Structure 1
């Protein structure tokens, strides 16, 4: 009787990638639809932003000009068509294309999220391994409490504490902004070709400018990174402990391998797999936390702009920013899923 052909790993990976790629479409569609419906629950965006500030005839004229007096389904279909062409509308308060706002401030938020992930890795992974090494001892208890506090502490409160200690009391780090505007470091020296200040500072060739930009990124990155560091710490601890109880680790232990070497050599890599699998969710968490972090530190990114547009009730701008963040989260989850499938073939099936 002929044997059944074995399942091709490449084919399994290919199907997995295809399925995950196709899932992006309904995910983004549902998120964009929810944002549109929620933004319309308050009425048309013109009245929400300018009601009471314009005469009734001018208000109605602007509503008609923008097409907000048409049936909701027509507006929705038109909005979907605009998104597919990269048109997210025009802001009501400052009459700017939402796409311009996204391009101007989006890279600043991505820069902050990148630094926050570095903080989360630097704190979460080593502390998680230390907690696993000292399982059920004093060090483990302290680190577990730290993980809970890091995750549970509101981002804005952590930011205010960091500003109080390092900017007000110790005066070693700047209190707000992305770069200095005083006589020592002038913003005009940044070519601002990319929108990412770190790259722009490197392009100047001046170490003082780069040091100034990095110093401004320290406190907001720590405030936002602690949110994810607590998650990483607990994940690493749990998975390192689980790996240390496997048969092959017991065999290595019976050969006289030290516990430190077992943690560093045998349990380290398996503990990283769950971190990669939850990375997409953590990106979403960081993007959400960026709103409060950027507002606290006056970091001029999408979160800062989103807070300002919310205060102004400019729901066209809010709708565009949230839609873009939804697309970023969906694409990030897709990339993370592919990386996880490459590292651990069991994920594909």
Structure 2
């Protein structure tokens, strides 16, 4: 019997990588695409805000129209350029954004960039606290719910996740204030720090605007404790919303990994259940959390508006609410545009981190 051995150059070798693909490739292309997507995302959001702000009329008429005579109002409109076609205004606004100019407020004549530098640190600090609370609540409780699947603790935790996600952040904040400040008197009602600590932090050289960092720089334990004590209720009210999302994500993914073959193999070797859940099943389950974290940070930024207003936390959300009340649509438009840039850049960073952790994200 003759054995035919086909060694012709046209026969493809099994398992050989194709010439059109490089091993481990795709990361650079993925990062580039995600970076380029920042620009259309910001463009769409800025465009929507620009035209929605003008549905109710021009910003000057909305903010100060009732306090000016018709001739004075017309002069202000002409000086600001709001009597020109809206397409012309839109083109000029995009040109300002391209130069990094987000505009000047009508009520107090502040640059929007100055507002970001002044109050952005407070919002960043609150979002950081809220994210920590969300991880503390979502990850351990999600692991517990997955391990006790379909038992009564799992049912309670699932109801808790739905309840926290569906509860408005301002309502959760008011409940926390009622219980822990009014009834129990163990937590401050609002603000970022007590008056004494505010003055002390204002006197340090080159303050960052992030009270926890500035408090650590003082080296005073009482100041650090006061700052953290004021952050407990705002962070909890804000973090519980995302904590419910993380809880359900961790539960679903841990249940999936607990049924995997490598977990069964580890269980057959005598690995205890705590280690199975904490080491073998948790790590793969955290990948989806990192993937969606960018969206959750956007949710935290949105929730910070009501949280800061409820607790008197002087950040971008608090200022945004003040400008909305004053009908200063230029300020609202500029702050929302800034937040859109922050969200888009944050999503890009999270996507890149997720691509490094899980290669499947790149394809």
* Pair in the same fold by TM > 0.5: yes
Residues 201 and 207, structure 2, Cα contact 8 Å, conserved in 1: no
| SS across alignment from 2:37 | helix
Q: Distance in 1 between matches of 2:273 and 2:221?
A: 43
Q: 1:24 aligns with which of 26, 31, 38?
A: 38
| SS across alignment from 2:283 | helix
Render the CA deviation track for 1:67-116: whole Å, top value 9, x for unaligned.
Answer: 11111111111111111111111111111111111211111101100010
Residues 135 and 243, structure 2, Cα contact 8 Å, conserved in 1: yes
2:199 corresponds in structure 1 to 187
User: Which stretches of structure 1, 4 residues or longer, exceed 3 Å deviation after superposition?
Assistant: none
Q: Distance in 2 between matches of 1:298 and 1:263?
A: 41
Q: Distance in 1 between matches of 2:278 and 2:213?
A: 34
Q: Distance in 2 between matches of 1:241 and 1:274?
A: 13
Residues 106 and 331, structure 2, Cα contact 8 Å, conserved in 1: yes
Q: Distance in 2 between matches of 1:209 and 1:247?
A: 52
How far off is 1:10 after superposition? 4.7
| SS across alignment from 2:104 | coil
Q: Distance in 2 between matches of 1:26 and 1:9?
A: 30
Q: Distance in 1 between matches of 2:68 and 2:338?
A: 30
Q: 1:222 aligns with which of 203, 216, 236?
A: 236
Q: 1:72 aligns with which of 63, 77, 86?
A: 86
Q: Is the deviation greater in 310-319 or in 199-208?
A: 199-208
Residues 355 and 362, structure 2, Cα contact 8 Å, conserved in 1: yes
| SS across alignment from 1:94 | coil
2:108 corresponds in structure 1 to 94
| SS across alignment from 1:52 | helix
1:243 corresponds in structure 2 to 257
Render the CA deviation track for 1:20-79: whole Å, top value 9, x for unaligned.
Answer: 111111111111111101011111100010111111111111111111111111111111
Q: 1:40 aligns with which of 43, 47, 54?
A: 54
Q: Distance in 2 between matches of 1:83 and 1:49?
A: 22
- Over alpha carbons, which structure has the higher Rg? 2
Q: 2:303 aligns with which of 289, 296, 304?
A: 289
Q: Distance in 2 between matches of 1:140 and 1:29?
A: 43
The TM-score normalised by the length of structure 1 is 0.96
Q: 1:52 aligns with which of 37, 50, 66?
A: 66
Q: Distance in 1 between matches of 2:95 and 2:35?
A: 21
Alignment of 1:278 with 2:295, yes or no, is no
2:245 corresponds in structure 1 to 231
Alignment of 1:212 with 2:234, yes or no, is no
- Number of residue pairs matched? 347
Residues 180 and 212, structure 1, Cα contact 8 Å, conserved in 2: yes
Q: Distance in 2 between matches of 1:148 and 1:293?
A: 20
Unaligned segments of structure 2, at least 5 residues: 1-9
Residues 179 and 187, structure 1, Cα contact 8 Å, conserved in 2: no
Q: Distance in 2 between matches of 1:9 and 1:234?
A: 35
Residues 201 and 211, structure 2, Cα contact 8 Å, conserved in 1: no
Q: 2:269 aligns with which of 243, 251, 255?
A: 255
Residues 133 and 260, structure 1, Cα contact 8 Å, conserved in 2: no
1:318 corresponds in structure 2 to 332
Residues 170 and 310, structure 2, Cα contact 8 Å, conserved in 1: yes
Render the CA deviation track for 1:312-344: whole Å, top value 9, x for unaligned.
Answer: 110000000110111111111111111111011
Q: 1:82 aligns with which of 96, 116, 120?
A: 96
Q: Is the deviation greater in 305-314 or in 192-201?
A: 192-201
Residues 125 and 233, structure 1, Cα contact 8 Å, conserved in 2: yes
RMSD: 1.4
Alignment of 1:198 with 2:212, yes or no, is yes
Render the CA deviation track for 1:124-157: whole Å, top value 9, x for unaligned.
Answer: 1001001111111111111111111111111001
1:109 corresponds in structure 2 to 123
